[in-house]
Amino acid sequence: MSAIKKEDVVAILEEIGVLLELKGENPFKTRAYHNAARIIKGLSADLLELVQSGEIRNIKGIGSALAEKITELVTTGRLEYYENLRAEFPDSLLELLRIPGLGPRKIKKLYEELGIQSIEELEVACRQHQLASLEGFGARTEEKILEGIQFIKQYSDRHHYHVALAVGERLYEAVSGHPAVIRAQLAGSLRRCKETVKDIDIVASAEDKDRDAIMDHFTGLDGVKSVVARGSTKSSIITEEGIQADLRIVSDMQFPYALHHFTGSREHNTAMRSHAKKLGIKMNEYGLFREDESLIACANEEEIFAVLGMDYIPPELREDMGEIEAALNHRLPGLVEKSDIRGIIHAHTTDSDGANSLEEMVEACRHLGMQYLGISDHSQSVYYANGLSVERLREQRRRIDELNAKYPDFRIFHGTECDILSDGSLDYPDDVLAELDFVIISVHQKLKMSEKEATERIVRAMANPHVTILGHPTGRLLLSREGYPLNYAELFAAAREYEVIIEINANPHRFDLDWRYVREAKERGIMLSVNPDAHSTAGLMDTFLGVGIARKGWLTAEDVLNAHSADEVEQIFVKKKGHSCVR
């Protein structure tokens, strides 16, 4: 039996859909694969069991031909149909799909009429204005494609945080599990919880004599695609996911200094060194040294900071953004912890575009030990996400009331993720918004805006007295779409004036509001909420990734809406609404 993962099955089905589009197959056929991918992705049952029991044949939306293919894929780990299809096109052609705004239909045309097979060839063709003559393309398209290519080049060597974290944790387990390893820790941008990560850094300590055995173990691990460098103090590998990981091995005495150094950031390190210098101490990855070159022994990172007269600086804050001064003055905030989270706000259900039902979402949230869940499906004009009409929204309310009655120890708040329309008005009438416990407002349509347009649109929406939370403030998608520009001073002034909470969207593709602005929002007296924007039960877990971003923004539990109890959150909602939550 193969060990193919559900995500891989989903990715292959999606890719088949795209390949069929590239071939110019009829839309029904291609859509069947995209639909199947979505269905499989949303399944809570084990895929292997569904295949073994034959149950896969009974799933609505998966026809018999598709069921056969999924069975072949899950049982053998391969799919001949896919491999043949894949062989019809050069690999580099599929790379073109990564360019924003370039879909299979356009790529097919570029391939057939201009013979373009790769990003490099496309870039040249754009510069020579070869596309302008093609039907459906123009000078504007050439410009947009060139911008897209620039974007990809700029970010192609970075990875989403959650992807790097999964790989990093797996490698960390493998390294720290080696019997000769004394201490080991993840370092670099991953430890600092940066929103994207270039490569994974691991620091370990061991006896000199054991280094080679550990390096052999590391470079020989399952899931290592290639070994970039193999030394006895440093080795680098590339994993199957295409992520580079560096392992550095030092003596146990050096471990704290090396860990601090390789955690970074570079800017933080530089600032630490210049502070140390003022005390007559030399600081580098090997140690802290007095003027006579003797080592100041530190057993761990905490002692390094103590020697330098500082409080311990959590890794998330090490960005040279005032943390050193704050640590010297004992003014670092007590950062919010994952365990401070009391409830989850911003969740979708199958009523709009979620993969799990209201009941399943509630069940899953209860299992996470939470006190409450804030349901916020899409609003009426978001037709592609099956947004709720007023009638369906009210019908959802009835089911929420029933569930609240069923679970007296748990609270379900009824809200919406209401679209901000292009003129800044909202997608439900005021009397409908008034019926809800809370209202998240977000921009999903007409994202191309100047700073002035975007700021005015959002500020106008925030002025509506029913609004509780501003969702994913910039609309960015990390590594693929820049958010619209905002005037943050105006945005925060409005949030303060209208008492609107700002979301830290904890979906790792968004992490929006950006942590660099989180601290500023807090300092202006704005509350933030760490929201998963969950579209499935698994998505609820993103909340905890978002806590890392909240920490990077210097937030304490007090600053975070959903680190408050159900009663406190209800009070905050009620204060904004001006009347009580209906129960």
Provide the binding-site residues for Zn ion, judged by CB under 5 A.
442
CA nearest neighbour of 379 among 424, 420, 319, 407: 420
CA angle 247/250/256 to nearest 5° reads 100
Q: Which is nearer to ligand DGT, 199 or 316 (CB)?
A: 199
Q: Which is nearer to Ca ion, 235 or 352 (CB)?
A: 235
Q: Which is nearer to Zn ion, 235 or 442 (CB)?
A: 442
Q: Which is nearer to ligand DGT, 41 or 260 (CB)?
A: 260
Q: Which is nearer to ligand DGT, 201 or 559 (CB)?
A: 201
Q: How far apart are CA 353 and CA 374, in angstroms?
A: 16
Sheet bearing 343-347, strands edge to edge: 343-347, 372-378, 411-419, 438-442, 469-470, 501-505, 528-531
- Residue 340 within binding range of Ca ion, rule CB under 5 A: no
- The least distance separating Ca ion from the CB of residue 573, rounded to whole angstroms, comes to 41
- The least distance separating Zn ion from the CB of residue 381, rounded to whole angstroms, comes to 13
- The least distance separating Ca ion from the CB of residue 550, rounded to whole angstroms, comes to 22
Q: Are 45 and 128 in contact (CB under 8 A)?
A: no
Long-range pairs for 322-327: beta carbons < 8 A, 24 or more residues apart: 323/268, 324/268, 324/271, 324/272, 324/275
- The least distance separating Ca ion from the CB of residue 33, rounded to whole angstroms, comes to 36
- Residue 301 within binding range of Ca ion, rule CB under 5 A: no
Q: Which is nearer to ligand DGT, 273 or 397 (CB)?
A: 273
Q: Are 341 and 576 in contact (CB under 8 A)?
A: no
Q: Which is nearer to ligand DGT, 457 or 552 (CB)?
A: 552
Q: Nearest residue to ligand DGT, using CB? A: 264
388's contact among Zn ion, ligand DGT, Ca ion, none, with CB below 5 to 8 A by partner kind, is none
- Residue 319 within binding range of Ca ion, rule CB under 5 A: no
State which of residues 199, 340, 437, 514 lies at the interface with Ca ion (CB under 5 A): 199
Size, binding site for Ca ion by CB under 5 A? 4
Which residues here bind ligand DGT, judged by CB under 6 A? 188-189, 194, 197-199, 201, 261-262, 264-266, 269-270
- The least distance separating ligand DGT from the CB of residue 200, rounded to whole angstroms, comes to 8
265's contact among Ca ion, Zn ion, ligand DGT, none, with CB below 5 to 8 A by partner kind, is ligand DGT
Q: How far apart are CA 515 and CA 484, in angstroms?
A: 16
Q: Are 472 and 442 in contact (CB under 8 A)?
A: yes
Residue with tokens 């007269």: 309
269's contact among ligand DGT, Ca ion, Zn ion, none, with CB below 5 to 8 A by partner kind, is ligand DGT
Long-range pairs for 510-514: beta carbons < 8 A, 24 or more residues apart: 510/472, 510/476, 510/477, 510/478, 511/161, 511/195, 511/478, 511/546, 511/549, 512/472, 512/473, 512/474, 512/475, 512/476, 512/483, 513/473, 513/474, 513/553, 514/195, 514/474, 514/476
Q: Which is nearer to Zn ion, 185 or 442 (CB)?
A: 442
As a whole number of Å, the end-to-end CA separation of the chain is 51
Stretch that binds Ca ion, among 192-200, 401-409, 519-527, 566-574 (CB under 5 A): 192-200
- The least distance separating Ca ion from the CB of residue 244, rounded to whole angstroms, comes to 8
Q: How far apart are CA 30 and CA 26, in angstroms?
A: 7
Q: Which is nearer to Zn ion, 251 or 381 (CB)?
A: 381
State which of residues 142, 195, 201, 512 lies at the interface with Ca ion (CB under 5 A): 201
Residues that bind Ca ion (CB under 5 A): 188-189, 199, 201
